[in-house]
Structure 1
Amino acid sequence: MIAFALRLALSGGREALARLAMITAAVAIGVGLLLSTLASMNAVERTNERQVWLDTGAASRTEQSSADPLWWWGHGDYYDGNPVTEIDVAATGPTSPVPPGLTRLPAPGEYYASPALAELIRDTPADELGDRFPGRLAGTIGNAALASPDSLIAVNGRTPAEIKDAPEARAVTTIADTRPARCDHACWGNEVRGDALTLIYSVVAGALIFPVLIFIATATRLSAAAREQRYAAMRLVGATPRQVSVISSVESALAAAAGTMAGFGVYAALRPLVATIPMTGQQRFFLSDLTLDAPQILAVVVAVPLAAAIAARLALRRVTVSPLGVSRRVTPRPPRAWRLIPLLAGLGELAYFVLTDSRPETGNGQTAAYLPGFLVVMLGLVIAGPWLTMVVARAVAHRTRRPATLIAVRRLADDPRAGFRAVSGLVLALFVTTATVSIIGTINENRATLDGDPQTRTVVEAGSGDRAPLADAVPTRLLADIRAIPGVRGAAVAHANPDGVGAPAHPGPHQDPPALVTCSDLTQTPMVGHCPAGATVTAVDPYAFAGMQSHPDQQWPAAPISPAAVAELPVQVLYVATDGSTTAMERVRTRLATAYPRHQIRTVDDQASDQQRSLAGWRKLADVVLMTTLPIAGCSLAVSVVAGLSDRRRPFALLRLTGAPLRLLQRVIGLESALPLLAVAAISTGTGFAASALFLKSQLQYDLVSPSTSYYAFVALGLVASLGIIASTLPLLRRITGPESARNG
């Protein structure tokens, strides 16, 4: 029977081969996208594994070995807003451990750089970047130690005396090869850690895999009605239900298997493009990271054809029970209102955490709590869709008298499952898009940080807590060199204030004493504020130099201390104002980095850049969702509409023979697709807003922020494009509803 089914599938004439080719192509696209999604998940994990060595100096690590200790100090830097990770190392013996990606440890006065950083150093003037690193470039760091081709990492060779007194420097005997359970302030890697990784998996799974699976399921139902009629004819001439099921399953599985194999070719073609997409919101992937595990390959190869065979078997229930009923297209039972229960249950699960204020404390617990709610809502939309389609169709039928509308809504009311099936992928994509954009947009709105001032600042500061002041005094030559850099508008020296001179009478809890700045220096940096008239020294809030509490109109109080006395105090901050150009800022940063190698040098933009980069990553992830789910849903819609036209060509041909104009039939097709699309899409979008609002309230205590106009424009464009897809299939109606179609029924 299997051999007969294969012969029937391959020898059924041009129509059977065309149907097989259409199903194969559609499944290939879906499988290619599915494999790309799975490979992206694997790439995120491999990216993390390759950069755990950067956490070697983390305080939470206690690994010990008999190797000679290696002094290790990890610290951060920036160039033009991009983070640069530096690891200073100093060997104490011949067996000191060597980081991955290196053949040996750099000697004092040498450094290794990642290929991207080495290229940047070559292409940038030395006084803007290269002078920050010791001596000569000894070589490049191998890919085994890099998260991305764009990673900016340097391993600097130092002597033990140069490192051991640096903040958070440690002597280690092993290089980290596993992620720490928690990341303290000494973790310098950029990896996507536990909870965030789980969140990314969840977003990608919900946003991409669901629409892809619906697309594959839609593709395997191409020409379903024609095949049902053929199988019904087999039943009438004596074929048993088992034989018909085997033939149907083999034919569907054959097309799905061919599409699955072709899907690997689609995946291979998509890999270079997928590698450029920052799925983690940070940097692009190495192409070699986009690989599939054997279990994943096996699961796709087996599951897709198996799912197609099961779908074909379920689609033949009416053939098995009543072949004549299928041949005459009896009206199926209408969907019941119970289909709303899963949708309401999913929303209720999310609302539970709002009403009880009992969200889990851990990230994994929160994922386990919230993700099922979203998945149940998505499943509920698919289950409730046919009932909602039927309700809308019946409501429209009571309010219209136009022939095309009456025919369309009558057909929808009779078989709402088929009507909703065509738009189910788009409806689900709209929910995922709405929820993703709403959540990410609200987080961005609530966590947005400053973007710097028109006159961007470069700051070198000593830090706080047990860190020593910057210096007893700033060398006059250093100040002269900095002020001579083109683009520098002024420099101010802020002194430590151990006696609290000029501090408020009643300072707030944990409030640091103000820094002392001479008014002659403050006039060079007017964006920080100004002195009162007649004052020579002022007490400035230390956070003003970070851009948090400063404004040109801010007047700081006078401090009862002389400039000479201030000059004797340790320097807490050296503050430089530039014109904001990259050249000026990076020259100042390089000059300060060489003068104060153990202190943090940063601009006000750097303070914002880390958080803004993270938020930008979420925006990119939202863009990935937008640009992926809607096209997939559009493909599902196109396949469904074409399949529907093909399945109903004989009824439409008969209507044309009886005098129905072609334009009338085209309006019927358009309304059958557009009505459930617009109606259920509105419900899906509203559900997306509701689910995201519940999540934001319970998880982050944020009120939902309405998405920007670009979201509404994109959704409107997606709906218009969907209607355009429907309209583009209407010319096919003339070709497939000729008299020969009526004769061949």
Structure 2
Amino acid sequence: MIRFGLRLALASGQEAVVRLVIIAAAVALGVGLLLTALAGINAVGAQNQRYAWLNSGLVGETPGPEAADPSWWVLRDDYHQARRIGRLDIAATGPDSPVPPGIPRLPGPGEFYVSPALGELLRTSPEAELADRFPGHEIGTIGDSALPSPDSLLIVVGRTPQELSRMPGADRVASIMTTDPSECDRCVIGIGTEGITLVLSVVAGALIVPLLILIGTATRLAAARREQRFAAMRLVGATPRQISVISAVESTVAAVAGTVAGIGLFFALRPALATIPFTGERFFAGDLSLGLLDVLLVVLGVPLGAAVAARLALRRVRISPLGVTRRVTPRPPRAWRLILLAAGVAELCYFVGRRPSTTNGQLIAYMSGFVMIMVGLVVAGPWLTLVGSRLLAGRSRHAAALIAGRRLADSPQAGFRAVSGLTLALFVTSVATGVMSTIVAERGAPRTGSVMSSTLSQSFDTKGSEGPSRSRVPAGLASISGVEAVHPVYASPRDGGGPGSPDWYPGMISCADLARSPEFGSCSPGAEVAYVWHDLIGPRRATDDPPVWPAAPIDTAGVQALPLVSVVVTTDGSVSAVERSRTVLEAAFPDSGRYPATVADFESDFRRSLVQWQQLANVVIVASLAIAGCSLAVSVAGGLTERKRPFSMLRLAGVPLATLRRVVAVESAVPLLLVAVLAIGMGFVAAQLFLTSQLDYTLRPPGPAYYAAVVGGLVASLAIIASTLPLLRRITGPETARNE
């Protein structure tokens, strides 16, 4: 029977070939997306592993006196145009000092290694804006084994042990750390792989159900003709098992071809996929790898799923060979179809306040809940379509609406099947947008106002030691083109209860000095010195009015005798002014615990995270809508072909072609609009439950982009339906009624 099934699948004319091509294309798309999700999870792990060595000085145990030649490490963050530069100052204490990966030996004083991306940046940027920060000369390039990404900006600078031992934050390192940051409780550098793995897994789950619907829809092309053929086989003696084998063989052939094409599609697009910064930085192409288990899961699972979908799509013939020819109206769907939908919501509700502690537990909890809701929407869709069709038929005053309502009531499953893919796309869109908009609203959009982006602050670590004096502020700083003012901020001796106290401020500034930059605020009336934040900005937003700072009980002469806590430089916001000022400050204070930065620099990681989640959400939305559009086009076109004889008889009976077109439009639009409302509502409910359970947030209304996406998806769907209407004239002529 398998050989006979292959012959029917490959040698049954143009219609069979078209059906196989469509199924194979659907499977190829699904396989490509699933392999991308699995490879993305593997790439995140590979990228995170290459962060491990950077934690050596931060979490390693302090070496004892017996340790052989430990290295002195000082790891700090520098910035250039809001891009983070990792700078490791290192000094050997002997020939056996540990060497970081990616370099052949430790650099000596006046030498440094750079990553390829930073080396290119050094060559293309003016020296006064970047290169002058790094004394000495380049002696080599850091290898890929030490770089999380091709875009990583990293430099390893050689120093003397005497220099580094006096610096704040210096560590002695006896060995290079190799523990994956995701498995290290004390590691502070690396990627939160658990969260990204969870999101990528949910993405894969969000795409697999629409893909199975597309495969099932493609499998049902020309279903009526194939059912008649299978029924004839049953009447001449074929068993239900043999019919099942034949139908499964047809779909499995297409699924195998699509799987091979999908694997080829993934590898062809892998270099382009590696450039998508899912984690904020690009991957190396080799990081997007697949394990044997990943390949077997997809290669065996997708064809098996396609065979099951085919068996379910053509199950009516297996029951009785007369089931096709009699065309008995199927039983109407019942309200019990809402049970699975309710179960999915109940599961997500259960985990509110009971969030699993492990990634696998969260994956099972949330992914299974989302998948149950998506499957529940598909199961409940026919019942909702039946309810809507009865309302339509009962209230219609036009022939087209009456015919459409009665046809939908006779077969609500077929009516909903055409729009089921778009229903899931709207659900996924609502979930993704609801989660994203809430995260942005709760965490606050990055502060990018002119004061935040153009003010450079050089802070000093005064714990356990005094900061530098005012005399160390370079006189040439104010003469840089674009620099508007230089404000020394002095360390406050006051202890108002710590950073959690509302009246705690770490610095003080002369009111005469503050008056030169009114955008930072003003002093209280009569005050000579005011308490301020070290960067003169603090937690305020870009839209807040300049504050009135509280008075400090000290005069100008007294405050100027105190050590500095920071130096704040205001600029016109130009790249040259900011980066030249940064370079001058780093040269003036090379041993400070921190490097100068703007608020925009500090928030660059948050911006990258937002971009990362937005890109993932956009991928899900676009992919879901694309899959749904394909399902809709295939389903509507296939439905017209299936019903060409009834439509031809209606035309012979005098029904105008325009009325038939309105019937088709109403048949597709009614279930689409009805279930779209439910899908959007369930999407927001699922997003709310996820946010409450995982992040303890409350859902915030999405922005205009969401409504544009929803309206655009619905309009595109209606356009797809409209594009199939010209087929009616061609397939409903008198010859169709005569030949059928």
Is TM (by shorter chain) over 0.5? Answer: yes
Alpha carbons 2:383, 2:412 under 8 Å: kept: yes
Q: Shift in Å at residue 62 of structure 1?
A: 8.3
- Relative distance call for 1:225 and 1:63 in structure 2 (3 A) is farther
Alpha carbons 1:168, 1:186 under 8 Å: kept: no
Output the CA distance in 2 between the equivalents of 1:370 and 1:134.
Answer: 52
Answer yes or no: is 1:242 the counterpart of 2:241: yes
Aligned counterpart in structure 2 of residue 566 of structure 1, from 559, 570, 592: 559
1:473: which partner in 2?
Answer: 470
Q: What is the one-letter code of the residue matched to 1:634?
A: G
Q: Shift in Å at residue 452 of structure 1?
A: 4.7
Q: What is the one-letter code of the residue matched to 1:424?
A: S
Aligned counterpart in structure 2 of residue 672 of structure 1, from 652, 659, 667: 667
Aligned counterpart in structure 2 of residue 447 of structure 1, from 443, 450, 466: 443
Q: Percent of counterpart pairs with the same letter?
A: 54
Q: What is the one-letter code of the residue matched to 2:556?
A: P
1:651: which partner in 2?
Answer: 646
Answer yes or no: is 1:713 the counterpart of 2:708: yes
Q: What is the one-letter code of the residue matched to 1:529?
A: G
Output the CA distance in 1 between the equivalents of 2:497 and 2:638.
Answer: 79
Output the CA distance in 1 between the equivalents of 2:198 and 2:461.
Answer: 33
Q: Secondary structure at the match of 1:285?
A: coil
2:408: which partner in 1?
Answer: 412
Answer yes or no: is 1:595 the counterpart of 2:588: yes
Q: Secondary structure at the match of 1:171?
A: strand
1:620: which partner in 2?
Answer: 615
Alpha carbons 1:34, 1:212 under 8 Å: kept: no
Output the CA distance in 2 between the equivalents of 1:577 and 1:155.
Answer: 30
Q: What is the one-letter code of the residue matched to 1:703?
A: T
- Relative distance call for 1:276 and 1:514 in structure 2 (3 A) is closer
- Relative distance call for 1:407 and 1:564 in structure 2 (3 A) is same
Answer yes or no: is 1:338 the counterpart of 2:339: no
Output the CA distance in 1 between the equivalents of 2:501 and 2:621.
Answer: 46
Alpha carbons 2:40, 2:200 under 8 Å: kept: no
Alpha carbons 1:472, 1:570 under 8 Å: kept: yes
2:173: which partner in 1?
Answer: 172
Output the CA distance in 1 between the equivalents of 2:501 and 2:547.
Answer: 23
Q: What is the one-letter code of the residue matched to 2:159?
A: R
Q: Shift in Å at residue 444 of structure 1?
A: 0.6
2:11: which partner in 1?
Answer: 11
Aligned counterpart in structure 2 of residue 604 of structure 1, from 569, 590, 599: 599
2:521: which partner in 1?
Answer: 529
Q: Shift in Å at residue 490 of structure 1?
A: 0.6
- Relative distance call for 1:549 and 1:581 in structure 2 (3 A) is same
Q: Shift in Å at residue 591 of structure 1?
A: 1.2
Alpha carbons 1:545, 1:575 under 8 Å: kept: no
Q: Shift in Å at residue 67 of structure 1?
A: 6.4
Q: 1:520-579: CA deviations, max 9, x gaps?
A: 322333322234566543333446344639977534344443433323211111111111
Of residues 600-609 and 646-655 in structure 1, the stretch that sits farther from structure 2 once superposed is: 646-655
- Relative distance call for 1:545 and 1:596 in structure 2 (3 A) is farther
Output the CA distance in 1 between the equivalents of 2:696 and 2:70.
Answer: 47
Q: TM-score, normalized by length of structure 1?
A: 0.91
1:585: which partner in 2?
Answer: 578
- Relative distance call for 1:730 and 1:461 in structure 2 (3 A) is same
Q: What is the one-letter code of the residue matched to 2:133?
A: R
Of residues 434-443 and 511-520 in structure 1, the stretch that sits farther from structure 2 once superposed is: 511-520
Answer yes or no: is 1:424 the counterpart of 2:416: no
- Relative distance call for 1:67 and 1:10 in structure 2 (3 A) is farther
Q: What is the one-letter code of the residue matched to 1:576?
A: V
- Matched ranges for 1:20-31 at <5 A: 20-31=20-31
Structure 2: 5+ residue stretches without partners: none
Output the CA distance in 2 between the equivalents of 1:374 and 1:552.
Answer: 44
Q: Secondary structure at the match of 1:314?
A: helix
Q: What is the one-letter code of the residue matched to 1:397?
A: A
- Matched ranges for 1:70-149 at <5 A: 70-149=71-150
- Matched ranges for 1:386-405 at <5 A: 386-405=382-401
Q: Secondary structure at the match of 2:172?
A: strand
Alpha carbons 1:27, 1:216 under 8 Å: kept: yes
Output the CA distance in 1 between the equivalents of 2:33 and 2:712.
Answer: 23
Output the CA distance in 2 between the equivalents of 1:655 and 1:733.
Answer: 12
2:53: which partner in 1?
Answer: 53
2:36: which partner in 1?
Answer: 36
Report the number of matched residues: 734
Q: Shift in Å at residue 363 of structure 1?
A: 6.2
Output the CA distance in 2 between the equivalents of 1:729 and 1:3.
Answer: 36
Structure 1: 5+ residue stretches without partners: none
Aligned counterpart in structure 2 of residue 317 of structure 1, from 315, 318, 321: 315
Output the CA distance in 1 between the equivalents of 2:273 and 2:446.
Answer: 32
Alpha carbons 1:58, 1:183 under 8 Å: kept: no
Q: Shift in Å at residue 319 of structure 1?
A: 1.1
Q: Secondary structure at the match of 2:112?
A: strand
Output the CA distance in 1 between the equivalents of 2:265 and 2:358.
Answer: 39
Q: TM-score, normalized by length of structure 2?
A: 0.92
Alpha carbons 2:255, 2:302 under 8 Å: kept: yes
Output the CA distance in 2 between the equivalents of 1:367 and 1:308.
Answer: 25
Q: 1:131-186: CA deviations, max 9, x gaps?
A: 22231122222222222222222222222223234343322233222224577787
Of residues 368-377 and 403-412 in structure 1, the stretch that sits farther from structure 2 once superposed is: 368-377
Q: What is the one-letter code of the residue matched to 2:344?
A: G
Answer yes or no: is 1:262 the counterpart of 2:261: yes
2:203: which partner in 1?
Answer: 204
Alpha carbons 1:59, 1:184 under 8 Å: kept: no
Answer yes or no: is 1:153 the counterpart of 2:149: no
Output the CA distance in 2 between the equivalents of 1:186 and 1:36.
Answer: 28
Q: Secondary structure at the match of 1:127?
A: helix
- Relative distance call for 1:454 and 1:307 in structure 2 (3 A) is closer
Output the CA distance in 1 between the equivalents of 2:11 and 2:671.
Answer: 37
Output the CA distance in 1 between the equivalents of 2:182 and 2:287.
Answer: 24
Output the CA distance in 2 between the equivalents of 1:679 and 1:450.
Answer: 39
